[in-house]
Structure 1
Amino acid sequence: MIHRYTTFIKAINLTIDYIILNLSMVIAYLIEDKSYISWISNKNYLPIVLVFNLIWLLSANITGLYEHVLNKDSIRTYRGLIKTYFLFVSFICFTIIILIGTKAYFITREYLFYSLALFGFLLGFWKLIFLSIRRSDRALLLDSRSAIIIGAGRIGNDLANFFNTNPSRGYRVVGFFDDNPAKLRNEELYLGNTNDSISYAISNRVDEIFCTLPSTEAQKIERLMLEADKNLIRFKFIPDYYDYGIKPTLIQSFGHIPVISIRPEPLENILNRAIKRFFDIGFSLFIILFVFSWLFPILAIIIKMQSKGPVFFVQARSGRDNKSFNCYKFRSMKVNNDSDKKQATKDDDRVTKIGKFMRKTSLDELPQFFNVLIGNMSVVGPRPHMLKHTEEYSALIDRFMVRHFLKPGITGWAQVRGLRGETKTTEDMMARVEADVWYLENWSFLLDMKIIFLTFWNAVRGEENAY
């Protein structure tokens, strides 16, 4: 079935895209080169090859180009491709023309034009070919399998409905086996009782069996599993705690005992935590030394001129494992008694003129890089809330406290998706919590890079909800 080959097809797409990129660069080199030095032995050319390749990888990760590679919708495919291509061109022009300089590696503007134009044309043509293959559902991408479901309860019926509404999964449900036929919603799909399931699968060459019987039928499940193994039929079991809405995503073995976690947590891996912490230290030091050091005296003078009070605003916030810590910010409001209870609202008269600018551009968060350096915050993570709000929302939202498995961040997935600023309703906070939990379950270093880039981009253009 199609989803079995998702990783393989992603790899094929990525490989061919890179072949096209490098082929475009070689052809452009041959057109433009006047030194008659072979491109493979030109030391000035090879660093540019590395830059092009790394920037394409960064651009594709930011836009998620390869996340929906099996999508048949040509409009969505080309929209993602065009977005990635223009981001790639922007990065290339900025990196080579502004940062590196064209003279350093004898790279001409004509070379950039030829290579980028040729890459765009060939990439679009290749995606057209790939979409044609995808739309045809040819055998090389489709491996349809017949399946029977043992157990006609809610789980079994839900599973059958999922396969029927998601044909791309490649399963064709033949029917159900259950000792109580009355459970079945569609009587035509009833094939017999559970004892007949294996013999039916053998005689009809069924590829897979899905068992949705409750755990109270453990002996029957074990017998069916052993019989399926003896006859080379794949047997898959759906646990009955599905009824509680838990989605198992990670299974560990403690000896012979399987332990199922209800969510993956990439940052529970010590190597991932070390990578994130190393980046936090390096990035915060860079910001403190090269941005905060000269911006601080300017902002400090303006803050003091516009309102009485300290330059910094220090507030207790909820951190990792719900431990409180002092969070630092540039003071953007007049000194008031509601700062620990009331969120900033639109046209809030407590916010100073410089405060509005700092909030709009997120400059008020700069002192939090000291929190990152200390270790009670990260560059990227769920935003820390006031202690009062943590207490309130933890009673209203079931998964609210899950976000505290991570260190809070200066920016986060919720913020770059527009879920920042005042939370007027519980639904607003629920959307923010869902985004934070998604980040916890899907963390990667490249995701952090994407969030940092989007934060910078949003700060440049300004955000509607930042006030």
Structure 2
Amino acid sequence: MIESNSTYFKTISILIDLLLVNLSGYLGYIIAYGTFGMSDGRGINFIHILLINFVWFNVTQITKLYQDMFVKDAIPTIRQSLWSLMFFGIIIFLLVVYLKDFSVSYRLLIYTGILFAPLFLTGKVVFLLLRRSSRAKLINYKKVVIVGAGPLGLDLKNHLEKNTHLGYKVIGFFDDDPVKLTQNHVLGRVDECIDYVKNTTIYEIYCALPDRALSKIDVLMRQADKSMIRFKLVPDVKDYFKKNVMVQLYGHLPVLSPRTEPLEIFSNQVMKRIFDVLFSAVIIVFIMSWLLPIVAILIKIDSKGPVFFKQLRSGKDNRSFYCLKFRSMYVNREADTKQASPKDERVTKFGAFMRRKSIDEMPQFFNVLLGEMSVVGPRPHMLQHTAEYSALIDQFMVRHFLLPGITGWAQVNGFRGETKEDGSMEERVKADIWYLENWSLLLDLKITFLTIWQVLAGHTKAH
């Protein structure tokens, strides 16, 4: 049923995108020539239309746009969509230039492209939003078995079951331990694994045997190769690292690092900085230019005190900086030590509204332009809280490898507001470190989009 659902939705997606290509072409034709009819041809005929559809279909096959639609995360989906648009545009342009029979006007192509790109991307965003609720039910799961029912194998099984979007379903284990062989989830001994997989629809074998079983691992790997079964070895490094690691090969020597850091690459730093400057400049010029005087007047009417509130917070490499905000509280002596809480008496009436809509954070775009913050990154904390949390939470200071952000992966996943609840700060730190290890420009765009969406919808933990 799952496979048929996937095939069904894949077919529907292909047809919808082809419809958008042709609809955009027709609307572009109307705009270019001011007519609803196409009987006179105007430089385009049925063969041209078929060729354009053929090019689009094959481009999406090359970029694998429709492959694993429910497994892929949002960022890879958007990335493949952008690549599809770019390749499609390049190929059509080359056809017009070098194929004499393909004499389609540049004006028609430009209008079509202007219409198709936003329609297509909007469709993908809508698909991703609708997919969230039923994603796990529609994935084409690949059946796998795990060799080794010890702690490492069980950890792997729990990870695959928790992260259903990876698209794997664990059928069972194989192990030689007599005690484990009596358990329901163990299907047999290690030497029975290959025969079992060959007689079923298993796609892959994950080997989670301990290092002392090297001879069994070697035999199993050779047998899998002979039987054309994909074999993956899971090394036991949990005693060194409790999380994802980066593996680099120095010759034949594997070197493990506790984390990947994409923003250590200079080109990525440049891309992130360009995004920060451009986005902040747009916000300041088109929103802050008229919002600031209005907010300033309302703050002054609501309570006595300055318009802006500046506070020393922990920045990149734990260097302190003055974080700017619109003042949302009455002037008080606890501003630099005590977090805001629900129904906090220090918050003014207009301040409560600003906090609900995140308007109080808007001046931080000036911090971004100054290079003290980024649009997206871990939220900066008061100096006192940094000292307190660093003593209580492992890896808390790792989040300071990055510039702090106006919004972040933790915030769009619900970890915002007061952090008195047990484990709330630990979860926030985990989210910040995940962002550090998985940064991409598209991830920043996704977080920015989700933040805007949540601001419009209203935060449940904003106070």
TM-score range, shorter chain: 0.5 to 0.7
Match of 1:154 in 2: 151
Partner of residue 253, structure 1: 249
Structure 1: distance between partners of 2:158 and 2:424? 32
**Which residue type is aligned with residue 18 of structure 1?**
D
Q: Where do residues 329-368 of structure 1 align in structure 2 (5 Å cutoff)?
A: 329-368=325-364
Distance 2:237 2:334 in 1: 45
1:34 to 26, 33, 36: 36
**How far apart in 2 are the matches of 1:270 and 1:10?**
40
* 2:111 equivalent among 36, 39, 47: 47
Distance 1:54 1:397 in 2: 44
Structure 1 unaligned segments of length 5 or more: list them.
75-133, 135-140
Q: Residues 141 and 168 of structure 2 are in contact (CA less than 8 Å); yes or no, is this contact kept in structure 1?
A: no
Tell me the amino acid that sits aligned with residue 401 of structure 1.
M
Aligned to 1:378: 374
Q: 1:375 & 1:168 partners in 2: Cα distance?
A: 40
CA distance in 2, matches of 1:322, 1:62: 39
Q: 1:298-332 CA deviation, whole Å, 9 max, x = no partner?
A: 33344344444333211111222333222111222
Partner of 1:296: 292
SS at match of 1:338: coil
The residue type equivalent to 2:174 in the other structure is F
The residue aligned with 1:241 is 237
Check the 8 A contact 1:152/1:184 in 2, yes or no. Answer: no
Q: Is the 8 A contact 2:325 2:364 kept in 1?
A: yes
Where 1:64 maps in the other structure, the secondary structure is: helix
Change (3 A) 1:339 1:176: same
| Contact 1:202 1:231 (8 Å CA) reproduced | no
Look up the match of 2:319: 323
| Cα deviation digits, residues 254-278 of structure 1 (max 9, x gap) | 2222234444444344333322110
What is the match of residue 64 of structure 1? 128
Asked if structure 1 preserves the Cα contact closer than 8 Å seen for 2:181 and 2:188, the reply is: no
Is the partner of 1:43 in helix, strand or coil? helix
Q: Secondary structure at the match of 2:423?
A: helix
Return closer, same or farther for 1:314/1:156 CA change in 2, 3 Å cut-off: closer
Report the residue type matching 2:178 in the other structure: P
Which among 280, 284, 287 is matched to residue 280 of structure 2? 284
SS at match of 2:312: strand
Give a deviation string over 1:91-124, Cα, whole Å, max 9, x none: xxxxxxxxxxxxxxxxxxxxxxxxxxxxxxxxxx
Residue 311 of structure 1 is matched in structure 2 by 307
| Whole-angstrom distance in 2 between the partners of 1:376 and 1:422 | 23
CA distance in 2, matches of 1:161, 1:434: 18
Question: Which AA in structure 2 matches 1:153?
Answer: G
Cα deviations by residue, 1:343-365 (Å, 9 ceiling, x for unpaired): 12233232233323322322222
The residue identity in structure 2 corresponding to 1:254 is Y
C-alpha separation between the residues in 2 aligned to 1:280 and 1:453?
A: 14
Q: Is the 8 A contact 1:318 1:386 kept in 2?
A: yes
User: Per the alignment, in what secondary structure is the counterpart of residue 336 of structure 1?
Assistant: coil
Residues 376, 407 of structure 1: 8 Å contact kept: yes
In 2, Cα distance between equivalents of 1:225 and 1:259: 22
Say if 1:62 and 1:450, in contact at 8 Å, map to a contact too.
no
Deviation of 1:451 (Å): 2.8
Mapped partners of 1:306, 1:71: distance in 2: 47
- Alignment-derived partner of residue 387 in structure 1: 383
* 2:400 aligned partner: 404
CA distance in 2, matches of 1:200, 1:35: 64
Give the aligned length.
392
Distance 1:282 1:62 in 2: 26
In the TM superposition, residue 390 of structure 1 has moved relative to its aligned partner by 1.9
Q: 1:13 to 1:259 in 2, by over 3 A?
A: farther
What amino acid maps onto 2:250 in structure 1?
Answer: F
Instruction: Provide closer, same or farther for how the CA distance between residues 15 and 360 of structure 1 changes in structure 2, counting only shifts above 3 A.
Output: same
AA of the residue aligned to 2:309: F
Kept in 2, the 8 Å contact 1:10–1:66? The answer is no
Deviation at 1:388, TM superposition (A): 1.6
8 Å Cα contact 2:28/2:115 also seen in 1: no
376-385 vs 215-224, greater mean Cα deviation: 215-224
CA RMSD, Structure 1 to Structure 2 (Å): 4.5
Contact 2:174/2:188, CA 8 A, preserved across alignment: yes
Which shifted more, 389-398 or 327-336? 389-398
For 2:248 and 2:387, the matched residues in 1 are separated by: 33
Which residue identity lines up with residue 181 of structure 1 in the other structure?
A: P
| Change beyond 3 A, Cα 1:68–1:245 | farther
Kept in 1: contact 2:246–2:260 (CA 8 A): yes
Deviation at 1:440, TM superposition (A): 3.2
Identical-residue share of aligned pairs (%): 47
- Distance, in Å, in 2 between the alignment partners of 1:312 and 1:289 is 18
Segments of 5+ residues of structure 2 without an aligned counterpart are 45-103
Query: 2:377 & 2:185 partners in 1: Cα distance?
Result: 51
Q: For 1:328 and 1:44, how far apart are their aligned partners in 2?
A: 49
The 1-side partners of 2:146 and 2:23 are apart by: 50
CA contact (8 A) 1:423 1:429 kept: yes
Corresponding residue of 1:176: 174
AA in 1 matched with 2:150: G
Note if contact 2:175-2:188 (Cα within 8 Å) is conserved in structure 1.
yes
Hey, what's the Cα distance between the residues in 1 that align with 2:341 and 2:146? 56
Structure 1 stretch displaced more, 280-289 or 241-250 = 241-250
The equivalent of 1:84 in structure 2 is none
Aligned to 1:267: 263
Q: CA deviation at 1:409?
A: 1.0
**TM-score, with structure 2 as normaliser:** 0.67
Change in CA separation of 1:183 and 1:58 when aligned onto 2, cut-off 3 Å: same
Distance 1:350 1:455 in 2: 26
Q: Report the alpha carbon displacement of residue 368 of structure 1 after superposing the two structures with TM.
A: 0.9
Residue-by-residue CA offset, 1:72-109 (whole Å, 9 max, x unaligned):
747xxxxxxxxxxxxxxxxxxxxxxxxxxxxxxxxxxx
**What per-residue deviation string (whole Å, max 9, x for no partner) do you get for residues 270-292 of structure 1?**
33332211010111122223332
